[in-house]
Amino acid sequence: MAIDFRRWLGMGGVPPHDRPQAYVWEQRLHWVMVAVALLVIPSFYLEMLQDGDSLPGLGVELDLFIFLAFGLETLWMLYLCHHKKLYLKYNWLNVLIILGSGLSLLGLPAQWLPLVRLLRVAYVALALTRIFASLRLLLSARAVPYAFVLGIATLLVSGAGFYLLEPTTHTFGEGLWLAFITGATVGYGDFVPTTTAARIFAVIMVIVGFTVFSLVTASISAFFVGEDEKKLRREMHHDIQELRREIAELRSALQLREVVLPVAKNAAGQPESGMSTRIG
């Protein structure tokens, strides 16, 4: 029995043999919810920056938006699905993301600050798990342009993050450079994260960088392997056509033989019967 890792990751989707409308809406909402999950990262850092009165309340508003988006999506899919308990079992990651965003909105007292930060990190990790699990769809030959677009977008967003979080980066270009050397794990040493927020962001960027570089490399490899497969498929198609042609010729020869052989036997037998008549 094969193991469905998507179910283990809490992204099992609609259970088998459910209503067709549920499968249609699952496809419609999939990438929308991936985009919503990406908002976890800016909300995390905006709430950390809120202590310094920078962009107050925006991180909380993003958490509220994420909470409502995942909550409404889950309620809508539960309404469409016939096997509701099985859907929650297959998609437990969504439930944890809803709980994580809800806890971020509670505004616990100061003595709970370490626990709140730990919950936020876990919340971000859960959202990234959903995102990375969805990126497996990019591992195909047709997805090479999308993989490059994803890599460029990730670099731009990461550069903006370092530009906002790291005081030693004075321009957006320096933020981009720090994002690249962090994601590529080069580490030239000309720029390094110095604040706690920038260091946590750097840890996330290393993971994201490995993932994006792997996706780009895998997509390029899939492209070249796909070209070889296309060539092999064309050769196999040509061989199959040749075999079919030869089989058709053999069938025609056999049919002709079945028609000609009795006629030949009759033609060979008629003189003998005529000679026997004369002798009689």
CA dihedral of 187, 188, 190, 196, whole degrees rounded to 10: 10
Alpha helices per DSSP H over the chain: 5-8, 20-38, 40-49, 58-80, 84-90, 92-104, 113-134, 144-165, 172-183, 196-279
Would you place residue 113 in the very low, low, confident or very high pLDDT band (cuts 50, 70, 90)? very low
Distance CA 183, CA 170 (A): 19
**Of the ranges 63-67, 86-90, 123-127, 183-187, the best mean pLDDT one:** 86-90
Residue 52 DSSP SS3? helix
Residue 4 has pLDDT above 90, yes or no: no
Tens of pLDDT, residues 244-262: 988 988 888 888 877 777 7
Would you place residue 119 in the very low, low, confident or very high pLDDT band (cuts 50, 70, 90)? low
Would you place residue 79 in the very low, low, confident or very high pLDDT band (cuts 50, 70, 90)? very high
Which of 4, 27, 34 lies closest to 128 in space, CA to CA? Answer: 34
Q: Is the dihedral of CA 211, 152, 35, 29 positive or negative?
A: negative
Would you place residue 110 in the very low, low, confident or very high pLDDT band (cuts 50, 70, 90)? very low
Tens of pLDDT, residues 139-196: 565 666 777 777 788 888 888 888 888 889 989 889 999 988 888 888 788 888 888 8
Instruction: Give the global pTM.
Output: 0.53
Least trusted range by pLDDT, from 53-57, 105-109, 131-135:
53-57
Distance CA 115, CA 97 (A): 16
What residues have CB less than 8 Å from 109, skipping those under 6 apart?
Answer: none
Q: Cα 185 to the chain's mean position, in Å?
A: 24
Interval 81-98 mean pLDDT = 86
The reported pLDDT for the residue numbered 212 is 76
Tens of pLDDT, residues 201-239: 888 788 778 777 777 777 777 777 766 667 777 888 888
DSSP string spanning 145-157?
HHHHHHHHHHHHH
Residue 75 has pLDDT above 90, yes or no: yes
Interval 29-56 mean pLDDT = 68
Interval 1-10 mean pLDDT = 62
More confident residue, 273 or 89: 89
Residue with tokens 């259970």, as numbered in its chain: 15
Interval 22-44 mean pLDDT = 81
